[in-house]
Structure 1
Amino acid sequence: MDNPSDINKILCIDIGGSHIKATVLDTKGNSSKDYQKIPTPVPASPENLIKAIKTLVKDFPEYDHISSGFPGFVKDGTVFTAPNLGTDLWKGTDLQKLLKNTLGKDAIVVNDADMQGMGVISGKGFEMVITLGTGFGTALFKDGFLLPHLEIAHLPVKKHTTYDQYLGDKAFEEEGKDHWNKRLKKVLGILNTVFNYDFLYIGGGNSREIDFKLDENIKIVSNRDGIKGGPRLWLQDKKALSKK
């Protein structure tokens, strides 16, 4: 087991439905490599994705640990669902082990909204993060600690329609910006009622399309801020281990 002092430079990878983004950060979130991205391969099989990641990071500076966010349900580094990449391709894939074996460093893999949330939360109270991109991502935090992941995206927001289908990229393209914003207003009201969060953060590429005034306890955040969750995953992991 590594000591926290052994964690210095973290390769942070954000895997999305349209792009794979990466950088190298220290434990304070300072970058030693400009934020880089490449298109997510099609089909986005484990083999193709790993090949793309290797291409993306081949000229990156040295790093000693890896953090990665993946768009699906991930438990102990293993992918169970990948609705926007292909669950049939990914179900049962130990991406954490695959990254470690490929790149030669210890890795932590979590849901992409979970990792992004770690990069933007204040660490005070009950905080929620949603991401508006290819699909609809969510993450929950209590006093800065990541809570067990819930795939809210797969729940029905109305009959026969999940949150993913209601607010994802496809819905934005088919319904248009105005109708999509009306849908988002409705969903924000539901989330506030159900979770009664202290603060909500909204990330993902489509967050820039929001055209209505948000409540004071809601903030739009960038993917560049979110990727800073990579180092925090390792620091939280070590704090949890030290209490066992």
Structure 2
Amino acid sequence: MSNTASTPFARNRAAETAPLGPLTLAVDCGGGSIKSAVCAVDGTLVSAVHRIPVTYPFPVIQWLDVVGSLLDQANTAGFTIARLSVGLPGMIRGGVVVYTPHYIRSAGPHTPVDPGIAGQWNGLRAAPRFKERFGVPAIVVNDSEMHGAALITGSGLEVTLTFGTGLGSSHFLDGQLQAHLELSHAQFIEGTTYDQYIGEHVRLQIGDDAWSFRVVEVVRALYPVFRWDAVFVGGGNAHNLTPHALETLTQFGPSVRVVANRVALSGAAKLWD
């Protein structure tokens, strides 16, 4: 496994000035990689971002081992981790994995489901499992919800749409997280779900120009569903949107922002507010 920093969780300059408070280990789980960092109480990242690839098949015990290793490395780097926030793709309800789309696959996203691994993941009481194993309190939410927690102002209906391995979404009303809707698996056009229409595998096939056009189509289709007061467009592929697409997106509601993917890590601390 590799990481983006020469020393995992190396301290950065923010660690010298941020109001540290109880430190949160943020773990953002994607279909292709798992990103993590240490957050101060205000969401400031006080360590370098640590990234490791996901290898398939990916059973629950391996996921737990990865998070345990991250906790150990953060503590070894001199951070005393008080709590854990984990963002996971799929339907997460009350810290329980109702369904996750990627990690149940035999060889990565969009490959056949491994029934044995699916049985481990779906129904997993993830938050209590972390507490039991590592002794720190944990919050486990959909990864787009952790993303949104870093961005919302707490006023009106605020929606986060994340474009990465597939489509992620979350919505908050006056600062309160609302019940998760797994839009990614809804049918967008006949015979094709949102994930199948704008997922990473499609972007690689058709290129950024055509993919960006599809993202605009998706946002246009979702605006009448939400009539949001603000929408945040992010995720691992947001930086691949073309300038024309970015300009077009501004027509969908009075407040549209395209944000960097790493903000999800800052949302880890905000989840505890």
TM-score (norm 1): 0.89
* Cα deviation 1:45-94 (Å, max 9, x = unaligned): 11111122223332211111111110010111111111122171411111
Partner AA of 2:91 in structure 1: F
Q: Which residue of 2 aligns with 1:161?
A: 192
Taking the aligned partners of 2:174 and 2:188, their CA distance within structure 1 comes to 28
Q: Is the 8 A contact 1:41 1:49 kept in 2?
A: no
Partner AA of 2:29 in structure 1: I
Q: Is the 8 A contact 1:20 1:53 kept in 2?
A: no
Distance apart, 1:234 and its partner CA: 1.1
Q: Is the 8 A contact 2:29 2:89 kept in 1?
A: yes
Partner AA of 2:38 in structure 1: V
RMSD: 1.5
SS in 2 for 1:177: helix
Q: Which residue of 1 aligns with 2:201?
A: 170
The question of 1:47 aligning with 2:32 is answered no
Distance apart, 1:128 and its partner CA: 0.5
Q: Which residue of 1 aligns with 2:142?
A: 111
Q: Percent identity?
A: 33
SS in 2 for 1:226: helix
Partner AA of 2:169 in structure 1: T
Structure 2 stretches lacking a partner, 5+ long: 1-20, 105-112
Q: Is the 8 A contact 2:238 2:261 kept in 1?
A: no
Partner AA of 2:31 in structure 1: G
Q: Which residue of 1 aligns with 2:36?
A: 22
* Cα deviation 1:149-175 (Å, max 9, x = unaligned): 111111100111111111111111222
Q: Which residue of 2 aligns with 1:10?
A: 24
Q: Which residue of 1 aligns with 2:18?
A: none
Q: Is the 8 A contact 1:22 1:57 kept in 2?
A: no
- Please point out which of 236, 239, 257 is paired with 1:208: 239
Q: CA 1:178 to 1:223, structure 2 compared with 1: closer, same or farther past 3 Å?
A: closer
The question of 1:199 aligning with 2:239 is answered no
Of 172-181 and 113-122, more deviation after overlay is shown by 172-181
Taking the aligned partners of 1:35 and 1:101, their CA distance within structure 2 comes to 26
Deviating beyond 4 angstroms after TM superposition, the runs of 4 or more aligned structure 1 residues are: none
| Matching of residues 7-156 of structure 1 within 5 Å | 8-60=22-74, 61-86=79-104, 88=118, 89-156=120-187
Taking the aligned partners of 1:231 and 1:55, their CA distance within structure 2 comes to 20
How many positions carry a matched residue from both structures?
229
Partner AA of 2:268 in structure 1: G
The question of 1:228 aligning with 2:266 is answered yes
Partner AA of 1:32 in structure 2: V
Distance apart, 1:132 and its partner CA: 0.5
Taking the aligned partners of 1:57 and 1:203, their CA distance within structure 2 comes to 26
TM-score (norm 2): 0.80
Partner AA of 1:108 in structure 2: I
